[in-house]
Structure 1
Amino acid sequence: MKQFKGFMHGVNLGGWFSQCNHTEERYDTFIKEEDFKTIADWGLDHIRLPIDYELVENADGQKLEKGYERIRKAAEWCKTNNLNMILDLHKTCGFSFDIGYQESGFFDDEKLQERFYKLWESLAESFKDIFAGSNNEICFELLNEVTDQAYCKKWNAIAKTCIERIRKIAPTTKILVGSYWNNSLASVKDLDEPYDENIVYNFHCYEPLLFTHQGAPWVGQKMNPDFRFPLKSKFSDYIKMTSEKVGQIGTAFGAFSPDATVDVSYFETIFAEAVKVAEDRNVLLYCGEYGAIEKATPEDTLEWYKLISTVFNNHGIGRAAWSYRQMDFGLSDSRLDAVRSELIKYL
């Protein structure tokens, strides 16, 4: 399978320009220049930079130049530290993966779609050459985590139109496209064929969800905050507790003995279909988010990263861990101090 050169080992800067209160204080203090040096010192080659539309647009869709300047500053810090960048539109007017933001209507409203296209035309014009004269590269990620399967056909059509309009401005910039069910592995097959050689299929992986999201109050119906679940629990326990806490069961557990536990073969099994699709279509495959919640033990977190990293490496899949700081998954947070020097080997 083709390798996403320059984007093999990365980290998300979640919570800086996205999923935040969008204040100047937040923008100025949450991530600083020295954090880019830390990321480079970890041996990583890129960042994924999530942005909400509020950073670069006002309520009426007018350009906020100050937000564009902040992205330019982040790009300068990337250049200084020899890091590449994925510019990820994490929220657009009318849609967010998080229903708590109360964005709606995007997939049925042509005006909201046109606003989306125009935003991407503006971003492309502003940043297509941001790394000109250096060895660094920027990629564009159209939209984070389309949710419902019912949006699939509409999203494929919207993505095609958006790519066509970006291509008039940035003909060779790599463009990332994810599918429904929050960029799930199982939905990669339903993306349209790649429109050109610079399209990247993007998925997210937080499997097994019962482990990576243990105690996450936003998951399922009965995921109480004090719920804990060891990584190496038996699959029979995964099945039982996933049904109870999450409300749905993944397809992979049934392929193994009830007494089996999570290992490399588990990840090989859940990756297999997406890998084959990418190989058959000769398209780059990338994991834009993966990680384990702060409520997992540091030891289990390290082991999980080791296992999933092995499969990324087996197939040459680039990735960006979620997330650098806080956001319930922070890799630089103090809880991981004892294991971080080992853990970063597997990012």
Structure 2
Amino acid sequence: MRTFEGYQKGMNLGGWISQCRVYETQHYDSFIKEEDIKEIASWGVDHIRLPLDYNVIEEEDGTPIEENYKYIDNCIEWCGKYNLNLILDLHKTAGYVFDDIEGSEGFFDNDKLKDRFIALWDKLAAKYAKYSDRMAFELLNEIVDPGVALKWNALAKRAMETIRKYSKDAYILVGGINYNSVLSVPQLDPPMDDKIVYNFHCYDPQLFTHQSAYWQDFMPKGFHTEYPMTVAEYEKAVKDNHMPDHTTEIFRRAGVADMGIGFFDAIFAPAIEYAKKMNAPLYCGEYGVIDQAPADGTVNWYKDIHAAFEKHGIGRAAWTYKEMDFGLTQEHVDSVKEELIKLL
């Protein structure tokens, strides 16, 4: 399988100009500074993934907020200074937000919203295509509804064609349905050229990585578990805590009895096979463990997924640098931070 050269080990900057506590200048100016990029570079990574919400650079009526492009510009400058490549990830677009499923219904049947999505990519590509030797473009963060796979492929093609007006060389990342599941990669269209990268996210098993996550309706408050455990032990925890069956679906798909690199080999296998068939690189744009998980289990999980990434040549970016319940600079991982940095 082809590798995504220059984008093998990365770090997300979640919470800066995406999923913000407050969408205000004071936050943008203070959340990430040059010294943060310098620190990330010292960890031995080769790139940063920069999530961007449309409403940072556009009013709700589509009017550009030109002054806020400086935050993207600053990140590009800092990454250049510290020899890091950059992925610009459109995390949210007008009418489609991965964490507001009900509010996003109808996006793929709304020509006005789809045209606005394309127009935004037209502007971003026109402005930043000149950096295509060290900057890649990720079309949209996470497509949720499994029923829109064909519509998403069609819209993604339009966005790719728009970017190609400005750059024939820029890498373009596209992910699949069901929250960018690795299992959805084979439903993506064949790449339009050799600069298309198949993208996925991996937080499996979520029983471990999202334990006690307050935004997960099915997750009991105060629920804790370890990694690794056997599949039987995870299934018992689901039953004992009255969680829905879909929480164990990934184990059935993997067909393994124990956690370890074999689990990740199994769930990555269809995507790897498809990427090889299509001669496209495969990339994991997000992976990580919530701050509610035990530190030793977090290290164990990172060891296994890291081994799978290395084995198969899959580039990746950890979620995330700071805060956002997953931050690698937060107190909950102080005791194992150096170990985790080695496993990026």
**TM-score with structure 1 setting the length:** 0.94
Residue identity in the other structure for 1:255: G
Q: Which residue of structure 2 lines up, in the alignment, with residue 68 of structure 1?
A: 69
- Give, in angstroms, the shift of residue 101 of structure 1: 9.0
Q: Which residue of structure 1 lines up, in the alignment, with residue 320 of structure 2?
A: 323
- SS of residue matched to 1:217: coil
- The question of 1:112 aligning with 2:113 is answered yes
- Give, in angstroms, the shift of residue 104 of structure 1: 4.4
Q: Which residue of structure 2 lines up, in the alignment, with residue 14 of structure 1?
A: 14
Give structure 2 stretches of 5+ with no counterpart: none
For residues 29 and 130 of structure 1, what CA distance do their matches in structure 2 show? 25
Assess if the C-alpha contact under 8 Å between 1:14 and 1:325 holds in 2: yes
For residues 89 and 61 of structure 1, what CA distance do their matches in structure 2 show? 15
For residues 306 and 197 of structure 1, what CA distance do their matches in structure 2 show? 31
Of the three residues 158, 162, 168, the one matched with 2:159 is 162
Of the three residues 263, 267, 272, the one matched with 2:269 is 272
Assess if the C-alpha contact under 8 Å between 1:289 and 1:321 holds in 2: yes
Structure 1 runs of 4+ with >6 Å offset: none
- The question of 1:125 aligning with 2:122 is answered no
Assess if the C-alpha contact under 8 Å between 2:173 and 2:199 holds in 1: yes
State the number of aligned residues: 339
Residue identity in the other structure for 1:241: A
Q: Which residue of structure 2 lines up, in the alignment, with residue 229 of structure 1?
A: 225
For residues 114 and 12 of structure 1, what CA distance do their matches in structure 2 show? 28
- Give, in angstroms, the shift of residue 245 of structure 1: 2.8
Q: Percent identity?
A: 47
Deviations along 1:41-60, one digit per CA (max 9) or x if unpaired, are 00011100000001111111
| Bigger mean CA offset, 197-206 vs 25-34 | 25-34
Residue identity in the other structure for 2:229: S
- Give, in angstroms, the shift of residue 247 of structure 1: 4.1
Q: Which residue of structure 2 lines up, in the alignment, with residue 341 of structure 1?
A: 338
**TM-score with structure 2 setting the length:** 0.95
Deviations along 1:8-57, one digit per CA (max 9) or x if unpaired, are 00010000000012111110111111000110000011100000001111
Q: 1:1-347 counterparts in 2 under 5 A?
A: 1-20=1-20, 21-99=22-100, 102-130=103-131, 137-221=134-218, 223-242=219-238, 244-248=242-246, 249-253=248-252, 255-257=255-257, 260=258, 262-347=259-344
Assess if the C-alpha contact under 8 Å between 1:210 and 1:246 holds in 2: no
Assess if the C-alpha contact under 8 Å between 2:13 and 2:320 holds in 1: yes
- Give, in angstroms, the shift of residue 316 of structure 1: 0.5
| Bigger mean CA offset, 225-234 vs 3-12 | 225-234
Residue identity in the other structure for 1:219: Q
| Bigger mean CA offset, 232-241 vs 324-333 | 232-241
- Give, in angstroms, the shift of residue 64 of structure 1: 1.4
Assess if the C-alpha contact under 8 Å between 1:72 and 1:130 holds in 2: no
For residues 3 and 220 of structure 1, what CA distance do their matches in structure 2 show? 37
For residues 271 and 152 of structure 1, what CA distance do their matches in structure 2 show? 19
- Give, in angstroms, the shift of residue 111 of structure 1: 0.6
- SS of residue matched to 1:245: coil
Deviations along 1:89-108, one digit per CA (max 9) or x if unpaired, are 00000001101794443211
Assess if the C-alpha contact under 8 Å between 1:322 and 1:330 holds in 2: yes
For residues 121 and 312 of structure 2, what CA distance do their matches in structure 1 show? 31
For residues 58 and 105 of structure 1, what CA distance do their matches in structure 2 show? 21
- SS of residue matched to 2:56: helix
Change in Cα spacing, 1:100 to 1:17, as seen in structure 2 (3 Å) is: farther
For residues 284 and 116 of structure 1, what CA distance do their matches in structure 2 show? 25
The CA RMSD over aligned residues, in Å, is: 1.5
Change in Cα spacing, 1:247 to 1:216, as seen in structure 2 (3 Å) is: farther
Deviations along 1:265-323, one digit per CA (max 9) or x if unpaired, are 11111111111110111001000000011011111111110100000000100000000
Assess if the C-alpha contact under 8 Å between 1:220 and 1:247 holds in 2: no
Assess if the C-alpha contact under 8 Å between 2:90 and 2:140 holds in 1: yes
Residue identity in the other structure for 1:252: F
Which structure has greater helix proportion?
Answer: 2
| Bigger mean CA offset, 336-345 vs 195-204 | 336-345
Residue identity in the other structure for 1:130: Y
- SS of residue matched to 1:287: strand
Assess if the C-alpha contact under 8 Å between 1:93 and 1:103 holds in 2: no
